[in-house]
Structures are given as C-alpha cells and as structure tokens.
C-alpha cells in the first residue's frame, strides 16, 4: 500500500519503502539518501501517532508574515491527551474539559443551579440550633421547607458533617419509631419561584430535561425517594428513587427528569416547581418511579421511611438542579454574601434593627422604619419577638429618650418596612428619632415573603 500520509508511515525505518507510491526501498536510490528518507518517515510516523512531538506548534498565516504558536509548558508532570469535540459549537461558547481530557463546547457562563442554599450554609432562623418540627409546614434552613403530618416526629438542624469540599449539611433526626398513615407524609423540600423556571418551558413541546444531583448520608440503607412537582397546581408529579448503599457514608446521587410537556407551571413570583425529599409517605402517596403522573405521588413504592426508625439520621447537601441530562460539579462560585442575598429575597431576620424615623410634636404617635438591603419577592409579613423588659425600648431624638408603650408594623413594601410607635409621653417638638434598646431587651424582626 502506498504511503500517502503521515499515518501510513512506520516507526521502523526499514519498513518505509515508498513515498506516495515512489519506491525508496534499499537499492533504489543511493543508500545515504534512501536511508535518510526512511529515517525521516519514521520520525514523522512517531509524530503522527503521538509518541513523539515538538514543544512548539507554529501555525503560519497565508502570507507567511505572522504566525500563532501553541506551546507546551516548560515542565510537564504527566502525559495529557485532549480530545476535541465534534462540530464548532455555538456563538459565545468556550472549550471546557471534563477533567479527563475530553473537551466540549460550553456556555461562557456556568449553567446556574435553580436551587438556592444547596450547600446549606445559610441558616438565619436557627443559627445551627435544632428545630423540633411541628405539624404542618414551615421553614428550617433558608429556602428549605418541611412538611410533617404529625408534630415532633423529627428534628432539623444545620450540621457540620459533610462530604469533602463542603462546610454544612441539613440534618434530619427521627424522634420516634412512627408508623406512617396511608395518607400522611413527611418531607424536606425547596419551592422554586416561577420566574426562575420559565426558561424550562414546562407545559409545552419545548420542555427541557433537567438533572438533580445531591449528596446524601443516612444511618439507614436501602431505597429512598422523593418527587419533583409543580409546587402549587398539584397536577404534575415526577417521583424518583435513589439508593443508599452504606450506612453513615456520604454518597452522591443523580436524577435525570424529562421535561413535562403538559400541566400548569407558574412563571411569575409564585411557586413554579418544587424539589422534595421524602422522610415518610403513606401507601396512598406511593407509586411508580421515573415517570410523570397527574396523581399526587410523593415517593416510589418501597421507599424507606426515615421517621419509622427512632434515632435514624439523614443528611443532605450539595443539591443542584440544572438544565440538561448531565450533572456538573457543584458550583461553589457564589460567595456567602451572594447566597445570603438570594435567600433574603424570601426571608430576612434582624436583631435590634437600626430603625430610623420621626416623632410628632405633642403626639404620642411616632413612626420609624428601615430600607431592606435586598428587595423581597413580594410584600412581606413581619413578626416581632421581644425578650426582656419592653420598658427599656425607647425612641431617642439626640436629647432625650421617650419610652415606647407599644409597636406595630404599619407600612410594608418589598423594599422597606415601617412601624408605628405609641410613646408613654409626647415630645414638645417634632424631631428625627432612632429606636434605642438597652441590653436587657432583645427585639427580633422576622420579615418573610416565602413561597
């Protein structure tokens, strides 16, 4: 066979007997010439096969005026092969490695996770303290809601038990050995705002596939379950299962969810979807895994009930929901401050906040408020909790303090909150004022616009 290209050349010089069908076999040309040609062909063959090479690859322009050079590092610790992707990608995409040498086209900006506080670092409400879950629904760590059909069946707490690369996890501990009723459920979930899922195009033929990935650890082993659902409408449910193989060992799980082409999916400021992990579900709420259904199925048949074993533990962290069929490494690029700000769209909490306002001349009624650092999802509700003697709360105008008799939220907006104060005595003149509290009084303001 004629040796027409570099890959036809042989690394053994004597085997290179022609160039493009022209013989350079021994005796056909002066030996010094043909041997040199054959030796050169062996070097070229090594270059073509990747067994030898150069430290600089020079690419000359059409006029031989300028060039671009690709150069290896001065010191290479190990052989590395990069495999190029098929095609030329899309506009504004970049080459990205999978960590094993396979290059692929990727968007310049990382595929953002639809989960907020997936690494469980933000815990405004409890600051790491354990929460005994009451019956009904509520919130624990920021953005992570719970639902419990019965009170005091489990606790939730921010934990420092984590897989490598993480600081915190969400810890559930079962408080009893409870037999779950047929229509009862217990869960940890995150609601996703409709505006954040609009690009998924759920509900029509363009619906995109999404991938859920997370780290989990439990004292129990076996099959566990959860569900991805529409959050409010309650007409689209995708139950999923995952297996915990080893007790008290961190394991990463991945679930791929086909885009739902039907159903009602909110794309406004209400809940558009929810990711839910089952801690126990009754028989009427169990069904087939990995398939969409319009029935309320909260976990696959055969799922383990965490609340059925007293003292059982279940940890969760590194939760990520992204567009596509492949889970990417958890995105740690958001700073603590950025993650906190995302959480504060839904909940903000302040201890003895620096309220500023004014006192009216001759009136015991005054008003003070604050601008919220992060605009909230909607007009919030405010809950104030005071500990200590309320007689130590006062408005201070720079000259004197006026004891507060009562306080109530009077004006609420997504960007600010204001309070009306009734004073024990009225100032003689209208003046600016600030809330003053002694160390014996603690006032906590919980500002909520949760889904």
Domains of the chain: 1-76 (no CATH), 80-109 (no CATH), 131-341 (2.60.120.260), 347-448 (2.60.40)
pLDDT at 76: 87
Phi and psi, residue 223, nearest 5°: -90, 130
pLDDT at 6: 65
pLDDT at 32: 63
In this structure, of 102-106, 155-159, 236-240, the range with the lowest mean pLDDT score is 102-106
pTM: 0.80
* Of residues 22 and 433, more confidently modeled: 433
CB 357 within 8 A of CB 418: yes
> Average pLDDT over the chain, rounded to whole?
91
Does the pLDDT at position 179 exceed 60? yes
Does the pLDDT at position 450 exceed 90? yes
Q: Per residue in 44-85, pLDDT tens?
A: 787 778 777 767 788 888 888 998 988 888 888 888 888 989
Listed residue (79, 127, 87) closest to 103, CA to CA? 87
pLDDT at 262: 97
Q: Per residue in 230-278, pLDDT tens?
A: 998 899 999 999 999 999 999 999 999 999 999 999 999 999 999 999 9
Report for 93-102, 189-198, 430-439: range of highest mean pLDDT: 189-198
Alpha-carbon distance of 127 to 123, in angstroms, equals 5
pLDDT at 104: 86
Listed residue (200, 270, 269, 267) closest to 238, CA to CA? 200
Does the pLDDT at position 363 exceed 70? yes
């Amino acid at each position: 066979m004629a040796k027409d290209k570099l890959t036809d050349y042989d690394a053994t010089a004597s085997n290179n007997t022609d160039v493009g069908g022209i013989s350079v076999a021994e005796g056909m040309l002066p030996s010094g010439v043909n041997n040199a040609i054959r030796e050169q062909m062996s070097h070229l063959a090594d270059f073509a096969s990747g067994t030898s090479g150069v430290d600089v690859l020079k690419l000359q322009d059409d006029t031989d005026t300028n060039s671009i050079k690709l150069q290896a590092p001065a010191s290479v610790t190990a052989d590395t092969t990069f495999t190029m992707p098929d095609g030329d990608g899309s506009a504004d995409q970049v080459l990205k490695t999978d960590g094993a040498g396979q290059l692929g086209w990727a968007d310049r900006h990382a595929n953002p996770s639809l989960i907020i506080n997936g690494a469980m670092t933000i815990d405004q409400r409890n600051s790491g303290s354990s929460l005994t879950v009451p019956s009904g629904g509520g919130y624990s760590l920021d953005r992570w809601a719970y639902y419990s059909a019965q009170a005091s069946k489990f606790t939730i707490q921010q934990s420092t038990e984590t897989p490598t690369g993480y600081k915190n996890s969400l810890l559930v501990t079962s408080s009893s050995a409870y037999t779950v009723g047929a229509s009862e459920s217990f869960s940890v979930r995150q609601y996703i705002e409709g505006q954040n899922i609009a690009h998924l195009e759920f509900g029509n033929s363009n619906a995109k596939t999404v991938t859920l990935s997370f780290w989990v650890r439990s004292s129990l082993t076996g099959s566990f379950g959860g569900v991805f659902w529409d959050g409010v409408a309650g007409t689209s449910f995708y139950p999923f299962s995952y297996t915990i193989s080893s007790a008290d060992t961190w394991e990463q799980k991945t679930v791929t969810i086909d885009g739902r082409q039907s159903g009602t999916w909110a794309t406004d400021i209400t809940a558009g979807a929810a990711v839910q992990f089952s801690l126990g579900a009754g028989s009427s709420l169990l069904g087939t895994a990995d398939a969409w259904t319009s029935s309320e199925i909260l976990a696959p048949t055969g799922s383990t009930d965490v609340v059925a074993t007293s003292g059982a533990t279940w940890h969760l962290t590194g939760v990520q929901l992204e567009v596509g069929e492949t889970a990417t490494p958890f995105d740690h690029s958001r700073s603590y401050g950025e993650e906190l700000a995302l959480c504060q769209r839904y909940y903000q909490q302040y201890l003895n906040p620096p309220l500023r306002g004014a006192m009216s001349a001759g009136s015991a009624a005054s008003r003070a408020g604050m601008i919220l650092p992060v605009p909230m999802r909607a007009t919030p509700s405010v809950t104030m909790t005071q500990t200590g003697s309320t007689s130590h709360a006062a408005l201070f105008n720079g000259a004197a303090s006026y004891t507060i008799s009562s306080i109530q939220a009077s004006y609420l907006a997504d960007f600010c909150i204001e309070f009306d104060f009734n004073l024990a005595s009225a100032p003689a003149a209208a003046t600016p004022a600030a809330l003053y509290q002694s160390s014996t009084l603690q006032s906590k303001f919980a500002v909520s616009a949760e889904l």
